[in-house]
Chain A
Amino acid sequence: MQKLLLLGDEAIAQGGIDAGMSGIYAYPGTPSTEITEYVMHSKEAKALNIKASWGANEKTAMETALGMSYAGKRAMVCMKHVGLNVAADAFVNSAITGANGGLIVVAADDPSMHSSQNEQDSRFFGKFALMPILEPGNQQEAYDMVHFGFELSEKFRIPVLMRITTRLAHSRSGVARRENRPQNSLKLPENLKQFILLPANARRQYKALLANQPAFIASSESSPFNFLIDHADKRLGIIACGLAYNYLIENFENHEVPHPVLRIGQYPAPHKLIENLYDQCDSILVLEDGYPMLEELLRGLLNRGKTIKGRLDGTIPRDGELNPNIVAVALGLADTRGRDIPALVTGRPPSLCKGCPHIYSYNALNEALSEFYKGRVFSDIGCYTLGALEPFDAINSCVDMGASITMAKGAADAGLLPAVAVIGDSTFTHSGMTGLLDAVNDHSSITVVILDNATTGMTGGQDSAAVGKIEDICEALGVQKEHIRIINPLQKYHEENLAIMKEEIAFEGVSVIIPRRECIQTVTRRMREAKKLQSTEKVEA
């Protein structure tokens, strides 16, 4: 078959389609979003009746995938790294219940924080949950590992974590496909108590998980993704995980490294392979595109063995993603960095689109709050976080999805009045609703501005979970109807909007303002699609 030119994300999606996956669940998040979008747009996936849907958040997505696995079918769930924090309760416990149909959890990490608030390394989560982890080093491997991962998952009845990083997720390369495998048929777990984590049962299941660890390690020892390449210069041995291997071999003519190299793509760490490398080399360099996980294990607390080089001893910077140059410098090779960036080149930060509804919401809010001292607007994650930058300088926090409402409540409890929360519609349904209920129950004096642009804008305009339902949700959570105000964020309504904001900010209790107007990008996309449809209809007519 001809190779397909696919992003790492798309390779995973195509792998799922070809490996008999029956459903894929996700909440959008860079750099993971394109996996689910690919399946949603795939004609093949449609013909195979593969379910693909966005959940309200990563936890609901993870649990839905677990339910599909319970029913015997292969399922995938995808999220960005911080999404795994949200799904963590389900994720960690799914290792104890185990899987029935194959279950792959894809977590896309973002070292260097290209579009994230941290650079946490999801491999730690896999290790914490005692789950096997796969870390592809290229697009082809990402595809192959989906097939392998589903088999591994079904063989050991355990969910498998697949950890990727931004560079793989968003880089294209040729991928060869395999033959299609049919989907599993509906088949309940042999033991209908497998998924009941009552203490007595959970203890038994946990012991079984522990007892399975040697088998997971054995699988890593013989894995096609873990291999030792022998070379003559044993003064140094190199462990290269995932993508780091590519950066390593990039530095050598014909990709031939003079030192022995252990390439790792499957965890738990293959002990024997590591021991083999360690024993034959004078010192070890560990290359990991993330936190120094293996490096820390190899050094141990006392670091009394052979010299271990990596992020912890300063051979490699402690933070940020790897690249071929960092690896070159770590190996003592020349730094090939070219001319410096001329001093006149200035930063060009992203900005809200022209005409974006958020612009007018912030203009009104800033003016409504101008009589108070600054520092009382708690915000959240989305396009509207750009309200932190010039010319708005309108918000004072952005921590994790949903934190705006709860932090405003805490600050109001502390006496910061008025306290305002600014949150997007998708973020509100992701993690804001529960916080609003807390505020209502506690009669907190906060004003919550829910920016309803009818989409998940930041990640490219995916469906938002509660389009047209935000005010009903607020009312059902107990916000007084007369303090739920819907406004139209346009310049021509500025005075009206300003008056409403002032009124609700003055109200002592929970009030909600919903500026409602569709995202410019999704409007444009809809119009373009409508035009296309019209012209094809014309041609057909």
Chain B
Amino acid sequence: MKKDIILAGVGGQGILSIAATIGTAALNAGLHLKQAEVHGMSQRGGDVQSNLRISDREIASDLIPFGKADMIISVEPMESLRYLPMLSPEGWLVTNTKPYINIRNYPEMEKLMAEIQLQPRHIALDADEIARQLGSPKSANMVILGAASPFLGIDYQQLKDAISRIFSKKGEEVVKVNLDALQAGRDEAIRQKAPADNS
């Protein structure tokens, strides 16, 4: 088993919370893990990405080779496209459709969506809206993670356990909100693609 994942977003959107959840689940499943993070200058409103690699065998490189990523998980639509050279032709592009506009020349939404749709395997969802409907606008990242969960190669229960563990300090209510967000994202992804049972 090997999954190479690019996490993408804008500085401040908290992509590392997704990485931490997948990482915790992977470690509990006894898998190897490497995760290259972004620190420093690029954190303020600039583009950020993280390379997350999990495998049942020893991992060599901290960086995912171009064209070999199994998945891009992005919390922002334009950012999801920035890392296309990393994605394998069979890879999944899972992205939020809610744009984060802090630049003047942000592309038109329609053209952006058309580019996303060019990727044969993609899931695009408005995670912010789904999270808002659940009454927890802060858990949009967990909605995205839920949407990626059918393709992660990690047991869904392991992911839920990881969330319970990570948020346990903040109380049961917070755990439940995040688990609901995860499930809502997962449901939406399954609705969009009804993938083979590979989870």
B17 within 8 A of partner (CB): no
A350 within 8 A of partner (CB): yes
* Complexed CA–CA distance, A335 and B65 (Å): 10
* Complexed CA–CA distance, A191 and B23 (Å): 52
Given A171-B36, A344-B111, A345-B78: A353 and B63 interface contact (C-beta under 8 Å): no
Contact in complex: A170, B38 (CB < 8 Å): yes
Contact in complex: A341, B85 (CB < 8 Å): yes
Contact in complex: B42, A341 (CB < 8 Å): no
List residues of chain A with CB within 8 A of the CB of B38: 114, 170
* Residue in contact with A170 in the complex, picked from B39, B78, B102, CB distance below 8 Å: B39
Write the chain A residue with the least CB distance to B69: A338
* Residue in contact with A353 in the complex, picked from B44, B64, B67, CB distance below 8 Å: B44
Instruction: Determine how close the nearest CB of chain B comes to the CB of A4; give it in whole angstroms.
Output: 11
Given A30-B40, A339-B87, A346-B103: A171 and B66 interface contact (C-beta under 8 Å): no
Instruction: Determine how close the nearest CB of chain B comes to the CB of A31; give it in whole angstroms.
Output: 7
Instruction: Determine how close the nearest CB of chain B comes to the CB of A217; give it in whole angstroms.
Output: 29
List residues of chain A with CB within 8 A of the CB of B39: 30-31, 33-34, 170, 460
Contact in complex: B85, A250 (CB < 8 Å): no
Given A172-B37, A338-B85: A325 and B65 interface contact (C-beta under 8 Å): yes
Contact in complex: A342, B84 (CB < 8 Å): yes
Instruction: Determine how close the nearest CB of chain A comes to the CB of B44; give it in whole angstroms.
Output: 4
* Complexed CA–CA distance, A167 and B60 (Å): 13
Write the chain B residue with the least CB distance to A172: B35
* Residue in contact with B61 in the complex, picked from A31, A246, A337, CB distance below 8 Å: A246
Contact in complex: A348, B102 (CB < 8 Å): yes
Contact in complex: A247, B41 (CB < 8 Å): no
Instruction: Determine how close the nearest CB of chain A comes to the CB of B109; give it in whole angstroms.
Output: 11
List residues of chain A with CB within 8 A of the CB of B84: 338-342
Contact in complex: A336, B40 (CB < 8 Å): no
A176 within 8 A of partner (CB): no
B34 within 8 A of partner (CB): yes
Contact in complex: B66, A325 (CB < 8 Å): yes
Write the chain B residue with the least CB distance to A248: B60
* Residue in contact with B63 in the complex, picked from A31, A324, A328, A346, CB distance below 8 Å: A324
B190 within 8 A of partner (CB): no
Contact in complex: B62, A168 (CB < 8 Å): yes
A351 within 8 A of partner (CB): yes
Which residues of A241-281 have CB atoms within 8 Å of chain B's CB atoms?
A: 243, 246-247, 249-251, 255
Write the chain B residue with the least CB distance to A243: B62
Contact in complex: A170, B87 (CB < 8 Å): no
**Total contacting residues, chain B, CB less than 8 A:** 55
List residues of chain B with CB within 8 A of the CB of A323: 61, 63, 65-66
Which residues of A430-458 have CB atoms within 8 Å of chain B's CB atoms?
A: 458
* Complexed CA–CA distance, A173 and B62 (Å): 9
List residues of chain A with CB within 8 A of the CB of B61: 246-247, 250, 323-324
* Complexed CA–CA distance, A172 and B36 (Å): 6
List residues of chain A with CB within 8 A of the CB of B136: none
List residues of chain A with CB within 8 A of the CB of B82: 341, 345
* Complexed CA–CA distance, A182 and B104 (Å): 57
Write the chain B residue with the least CB distance to A328: B65
Given A341-B81, A345-B81: A350 and B44 interface contact (C-beta under 8 Å): yes
List residues of chain B with CB within 8 A of the CB of A115: 40-42
Write the chain B residue with the least CB distance to A351: B45
* Residue in contact with A342 in the complex, picked from B51, B81, B87, CB distance below 8 Å: B81
* Complexed CA–CA distance, A33 and B40 (Å): 9
List residues of chain B with CB within 8 A of the CB of A320: none
30 A-B residue contacts at CB 8 Å?
A5-B27, A30-B41, A31-B40, A33-B39, A33-B40, A114-B40, A114-B41, A115-B40, A167-B62, A171-B37, A172-B36, A173-B33, A173-B59, A249-B60, A324-B65, A337-B66, A338-B86, A338-B88, A339-B84, A340-B84, A342-B84, A345-B78, A348-B103, A350-B11, A350-B44, A350-B46, A351-B46, A352-B44, A353-B45, A460-B39
Q: Residues of B at under 8 Å CB distance from A?
A: 10-11, 23, 27, 32-47, 51, 58-69, 78-79, 81-82, 84-89, 91, 102-103, 105-108, 111-112, 115, 118-119
Q: Residues of A at under 8 Å CB distance from B?
A: 5, 7, 30-31, 33-34, 114-115, 167-168, 170-174, 243, 246-247, 249-251, 255, 323-325, 328, 335-342, 344-353, 383, 386, 458-460
